[in-house]
Chains A and B, each alone.
Chain A
Amino acid sequence: MSAGGLASGKPDGEWLRVHPATPFVRGWVALAAIGYFFGRDSFERMLQGQPLIDDRIAGRAPWLLGAGALMLVLAVLSFILSWYFTRYQVAEGYVRVNTGFLFKQQRQARLDRVQAIDIVQPLLARIFGLAELKFEVADAGESAVRLAYLRIGDARQLRATILARASGVRLDPAQPEAAAPEAPEQHVLQVPPSRLFGSLLLSEQTVFIVLGAAASVVLSALTENRAFFLYLIPAALGFVAAYWSSFNKGYNFTAAISPDGIRLRYGLLDTQAQTLPPGRIQALKVAQPPLWRLFGWYRMQVNAAGYGAGANNGEGGSRTTLLPVGRMDDVLNMMALVLPDPGTADPLRVFQQGVNGMDSDGGFVTTPRRARLLAPLGWRRNAFAATDTALLMRSGRWWRQLVVVPHQRTQSIALQQGPLARRFGLADVVLHTTAGPVAPRVIQADLREAQALFDAQAARARAARRRQTSEQWLAQLDQRPTPASQQEGQQRG
């Protein structure tokens, strides 16, 4: 019946349904809305000591009640139908999900193209012990395949199965139908709530709020207009909501490593467990807002295919965060997970110079001195360095930032020069990666250096791609990959 089939080791290819409680967990918002709509009026009357139903419409009350009940039944029925017609199957290297009652849709995703896999538990689902399984294949935007809701144990089991197939692990030939065991994991780091709280207080947002508040106080003193404090109330509410959402998302952030990839877990009310398989990170950014320097804190964000550009909307913002706030050793730990082979003899020094350093220490090539008029603060900091496996780009004197792009993840490269840069003999090198919060760019490099980098980087990316033979990270077999169009949505009337 439910996903229990997989856990109990039933054969492949069976079409399964999600948990029967799904319609209610999903539809509770609609039910609550209907309840609110019809209940509010009666409740207010009750509080005022009036009869439950207005006298003027009392004669029609049965009709109204009937209409309400009909809507309720229709809503519940539609959720139940949608549950009934949602089936999924894991077989032959594909996950297929069929949905839809009138408009049927079949989605299929190739397992070896799975870029990331999440288990999401909204609060209500968490109460019932249910979870949503969501996985991204290599495509931008609305391509996630979602399975909601499964029992939490089944969701974990299915995740293990998908990751096992995706990694190309050899199952026991004697028992090909046995469920894949969950990969063991090793705890890497945890962000204490106090540090998260502190980091939010010292974030860029706070700086802007303080500046905004100061400006409004000054303005009100100058214009003697007290009324516009009223306008600040919605703004304040917005800020509180933003802080709350960051806190809720980042609470109890835990990172662990398993053979299946990096596991990230976080959330106060709604919890989420992400798995990023090895080599799926396209670009990485370590950033430090000015106030965080007091405590030596850093933030890490990644571009991963399928997470999309949603850097500012809540969900995408938290999913692209590799580390909401951490110290230098946390950063280096995570860096080691993302880039197991740093490709340099002294990775510690190179990365530390990249995050905090200046000038050409650690093999960095900076903006030439003649351009110090163009970048009076940044010229000693703007720099790039290439190791055997990745390109490091650092920038920002106040807003420190280091971007790392593995060579084999480079999509295309552009060399750019505007009129002002031409005066100073400078050029920018832009590396294109999948959509996300990280935009890799070498700014204001010497023209000759930039040209050399442009050529060398194209060659390095080429060589790195040759080395990488398979998408299945455990079975690096000589397997010919097929085009990345892995999803076929079919619509039938």
Chain B
Amino acid sequence: MPTAAIDPPGISWLRVSPKYITVRLVEWALGNLVMVAVLSLPLVFVRLGWWRWPPLWLAIGLPAFMLLLALWRLVLIPRQVRAIGYAEREDDLLIRGGIFFQRVMVVPYGRMQYVDISAGPVERGLGLCSLKLHTASAGTNAGIPGLPAEEGARLREQLSARGEARLAGL
């Protein structure tokens, strides 16, 4: 399994819901289709003869290139979602993510200042939520997206309880 490269050994990861792929697909569609549509406007204008610039090859090439990039990202989405994982250990929470740019992060329970749960419209429709952890450091960009709602609630309670028990100052 290619995603196992930098993980600490002997950890059984909990994975996020496969339904989160849908959420990412919707986000992808909104973001990329709008962008490709906007980038295609010069092509339309050039074809209609309203604009002299840019040349036709550029007007075709740019949106085509962006479309290819977007499709590449689309193909990656399911693997990216499968790569997200988290594991509750005795004193800290591990979060991993990414395929090409892998990241494993450890957040001690005692360092957590607060835990956020949020759900966008698509997530809510699928019964998912996103959990975000905050420490005193802005660099702690620790979030677990695509959790089933009840799992998110359980995790939040669990994290709060453990954080309370091990709370340290700064």
Contact = CB atoms under 8 A, between A and B. Distances in A.
Contacts of B142: 412
A115 to B, nearest CB: 7
Interface string A366-377: 000000000000
Contacts of B34: none
A427 B6 contact: yes
A418 B100 contact: yes
A99 interface: no
A419 interface: yes
Contacts of A447: 5-6
Contact of B102 (A280, A416, A461, A462): A416
B6 A417 contact: yes
Contacts of A468: 168-169
A305 B8 contact: no
Interface string A461-493: 110010010010000000001011100000000
B8 A451 contact: yes
B101 A454 contact: no
A411 B168 contact: no
Q: How large is the interface on A (under 10, 10 to 19, 20 to 34, 35 or more residues)?
A: 35 or more
Contacts of A17: none
A483 B136 CA distance: 12
Contacts of B5: 417, 422, 447
Interface in B138-153: 138-140, 142
B101 A417 contact: yes
B139 to A, nearest CB: 4
Residue among B92, B101, B104 with most chain A CB within 10 A: B104
B156 to A, nearest CB: 16
A280 B136 CA distance: 13
Nearest to B139: A432
B117 interface: no
A209 B168 CA distance: 46
Interface of B: 5-6, 8, 91-92, 100-108, 110-111, 113, 135-140, 142, 166-170
6 contacts: A411-B137, A415-B6, A418-B101, A422-B5, A432-B139, A447-B6
Interface of A: 113, 115, 138, 140, 280, 282, 305, 309, 408-409, 411-419, 422, 427, 430, 432-435, 439, 447, 450-451, 454-455, 458, 461-462, 465, 468, 471, 481, 483-485
